[in-house]
Chain A
Amino acid sequence: MSEVHLELTNVGIEFPTPKGPFRALQDVNLKIEQGEFISLIGHSGCGKSTVLNIVAGLYGATEGGVLLDGKEVDSPGPERAVVFQNHSLLPWLTAYENVELAVDQVFKKSKSAAEKREWIEYNLKLVHMDHAMHKRPDEISGGMKQRVGIARALAMQPEVMLMDEPFGALDALTRAHLQDSLMEIQKELNNTVIMITHDVDEAVLLSDRIVMMTNGPAATIGEILTVDLPHPRDRLALADDPTYNHYRSEVLRFLYEKQRKVEH
């Protein structure tokens, strides 16, 4: 067994509200290895994003903590790059300049101007955005914006890439394209990834392990499913694969039987 890369220990968080503290998470324990692809799945409002934000350092845990390579996470940093749900590109900068902002920050001194340019272009090529890298966000489609968001995160050369429903706002075809791109990139770079998703197929297709969360308040990890399918994975071939469908139904059973969302 390889070494633990990222470790969440007894993580819990309370948010102050006018009606007293609200406990969103409790006793979240998770050990992630280098190069693993983890999906967080659960009903909306179960605290998936909160977990991600704690790992990102945007929220501080009330108790417990996060260790990255044995060092405690207490603030945001580019070694834990985030791909945001709604791309969060700066609208006044081109795709290239958006990635450049990140590259300038992370490789301030370690790369020369020419090396930086090459690195920015390399990352935009990786997400197939080299043809439109001098366009601004309002000139490109939603899928393309998300690609640039991924390029920006990759360009930080992060230890862990955190993706908050990266494809949630996209149509099914664009989403499939981006999932394929992501698998391709993952094969090449072998990043550690934590991705939040609502999409069961997406989770099974992309993940090494699927972390299923119970409903809040005081949400925690319900079950962890290891997806033992060989890489590279092909969505068409897997559609009729009994193992794949078994994993799929496992997740569905968790979401719709064990943790059925009670509508208020």
Chain B
Amino acid sequence: MNPLTWGVIEPFYKLAIGEDRKGQVNTIIKMIGLPLVGIFFFLLLWQAAASNIQTSLGQFPGPVQTYEQFVSLQAEAEAEALKEEKFYQRQEDRNAIKLEKNPEAEIKIREYTGHPTFFDQIGRSLVTVMSGFILASIIAIPIGIVIGLSANAYSAVNPLIQIFKPVSPLAWLPLVTMVVSAVYVTDDPSFDKAFLNSMFTVLLCCLWPTIINTAAGVATVTQDLKNVSQVLSLSWWTHVRKIVLPCSIPMMFTGLRISLGIAWMVLIAAEMLAQNPGLGKFVWDEFQNGSSDSLGRIMVAVIVIGIVGFFLDRGMLIIQKAVSWDKTADIR
């Protein structure tokens, strides 16, 4: 991979070496200038609208207040990190003294149990969403392949998919909660129940697009390729591996990207209700908190949720491009 051909860097590189200066400047304006203009006008509009909205928690946060809250969240995170460092430092010192007195002494190391920061919450949300999404994909792709290969299986399963696909995560959540409480009974829980509740809700909501699109992708295997497979007497498994899978990858990834988008949206709602640590819980806690900073902090969360969602999709796009055999296809 040549970094100089990457979309973002290429025009700058060409400008630097003096290749078609005018064209490069135009490209840069289109690529960076116009989005900046759009963002600038959005900020203006936001500021104007915000200053006219009075809530019981004070004025609706504009871009400036939101940025201030972002900075204060960062400061809190830094303070927390410092506290944690000191905690472990104290513990280490204490243990060192203990060992000096008696080398046989039993040493305890306690985990730091501080308040999770905003940035910890982002991490927790990402872990939850990826767990749900990956589990869902592991279930959905084989189902998609099977119903794509067999018209009978498709007819049998399709009505179920169509019925469950539009169900809101909020409807699943109470059921998932009760089932998890009933089934996941252990003395030494390695997973938090709230985590499982959010994850399974995400899973239930993001199965469907992957199933449907994988099945559609499998249906794009032409009769010609099926004939080739028959003449070669490929086994069912080789047929799936060598012909069906590569053929359906573009459609499969379309489904996976839709699923991941849904998973991220569902997750925020699920975390709010399940009280699973994450961005959803952060928003809910701030709302309950009801301080004058709360709305600004929620706004920070809104923007971060959007940006994370965007990068999740970009990530899938990069994987899709890497595994797609048709490099000429315009994937976006």
Residue in contact with B230 in the complex, picked from A58, A90, A91, CB distance below 8 Å: A58
Q: Judging by beta carbons under 8 Å apart, are B224 and A86 in contact? A: yes
B88 at interface by CB-CB < 8 Å? no
Q: Select B234's contact among A58, A92, A105, A136, beta carbons within 8 Å.
A: A105
Q: Is B63 an interface residue (CB 8 A)?
A: no
CB contacts (< 8 Å) of B231 on chain A: these are 56, 58, 76-78, 80-82
Please state if B232 and A90 are interface contacts (CB–CB under 8 Å): no
Cβ contact within 8 Å between A90 and B234 = no
Chain B contacts for A81, CB-based, 8 A: 231
Closest to A105 in B: B232
Give residues of chain A (44-101) contacting chain B, Cβ–Cβ below 8 Å. 56-58, 75-78, 80-82, 84, 86, 88, 90-92, 101
A82 to B228 alpha-carbon distance, docked (Å) = 8
SS class, residues of chain B in contact with chain A? helix
Q: Are B228 and A90 in contact (CB under 8 A)?
A: yes
Cβ contact within 8 Å between B232 and A102: yes
CA distance in complex: A204, B221 (Å): 36
Question: Which residues of A sit under 8 angstroms from B328, Cβ to Cβ?
Answer: 138
B249 to chain A, nearest CB (A): 9
Among B224, B233, B242, B325, the residue within 8 A (CB) of A76 is B233
B190: Cβ under 8 A from any A Cβ: no
**In the complex, what residue of chain B is closest to A156 when comparing beta carbons?**
B232
Contacts of B225 in A (CB 8 A): 88, 90
Output the nearest chain A residue to B246 by Cβ-Cβ distance.
A92
| A→B interface (CB under 8 Å) | 56-58, 75-78, 80-82, 84, 86, 88, 90-92, 101-102, 105-106, 136, 138, 156
The 5 closest A-B pairs by CB, nearest first: A92-B325, A88-B224, A76-B230, A92-B246, A76-B231
29 A-B residue pairs with CB within 8 Å: A58-B230, A58-B231, A75-B230, A76-B227, A76-B230, A76-B231, A77-B231, A77-B233, A78-B233, A80-B231, A81-B231, A84-B224, A84-B228, A88-B224, A88-B225, A88-B227, A90-B243, A90-B246, A92-B246, A92-B325, A101-B232, A101-B242, A102-B232, A105-B234, A105-B238, A106-B232, A138-B326, A138-B328, A156-B232
